[in-house]
Amino acid sequence: MPMQKPPRLATGTLAFFLDFDGTLVPFDKPDESVPLVDDGLRSLLTELRNRSDGALAIISGRSIEVIDELFEPLKLAAAGEHGAEWRFTPHAHREQIIAPPGLVTAHASCEQFANRTLGVRFERKALSMVLHFHRHPELRDAAAKAAEAGCLPDSGVRVMHARGMVEVKPVDASKGHAINRFMQAFPFTRRKPVFIGDDVTDEDGFIAVNALDGVSIKVGAGNSHARYRLPDEDAVREWLESLLD
């Protein structure tokens, strides 16, 4: 389906769900660099949150703890680790899914592969893990094979591909699940969801938003379930700013 620039929308009726890396900030080897969240971005999200009566959340593969550090002093509703953890309002208690036992086996397989493979870094999060190979894309197949070896049948975990990395996460954690969970909670209920993302990890979110007759926006090139497209993170910010005019 051909995709076009998203239309102007009335913020008072919307619920905003925003990916972080590659959407609000440039994607630049997330295991090696710290993205800059400038005051202009903080102000923009604060105003969008106010205009939508609080219905704005970051939906990221990063943990909520890291999201808070990056946006400090601004605190936002968020889902971290692809929906494995969440809080519905900025100061709500953080909730999370139950960690499946398969994470232990997957950890061993992924860490062993990283230890013996030059150019791969292993990152362990609370409820997921990542094999990073941003400078060596030729290692994708080998990294995926190592990750899949640790994801035994009925282990409760699965492999997910992303730019420059392979992730192992609980099968119950996805951005689609996260958005559906938020849409059943205050202040997101009975609003039209808008989700903006850039990677294959965002496709579950696009599918969920489409099913809710919302606005799904893909950033950058590539096939997607999203109904609209913006070329880069600068265009994302410009479009979001246009909703405040």
**Residues acting as catalytic residues:** 19
Note whether 169 and 157 are within 8 A (CB).
yes
d(CA 79, CA 231): 24
End-to-end CA separation in angstroms for the chain: 30
Alpha helices in the chain (DSSP H): 39-51, 64-71, 102-116, 140-149, 175-182, 203-211, 233-242
Which of 76, 70, 97 lies closest to 88 in space, CA to CA?
76
Cβ neighbours of residue 54 under 8 Å, at least 6 residues apart?
Answer: 77, 89, 187
Which of 231, 225, 166 lies closest to 23 in space, CA to CA?
231
d(CA 24, CA 240): 10
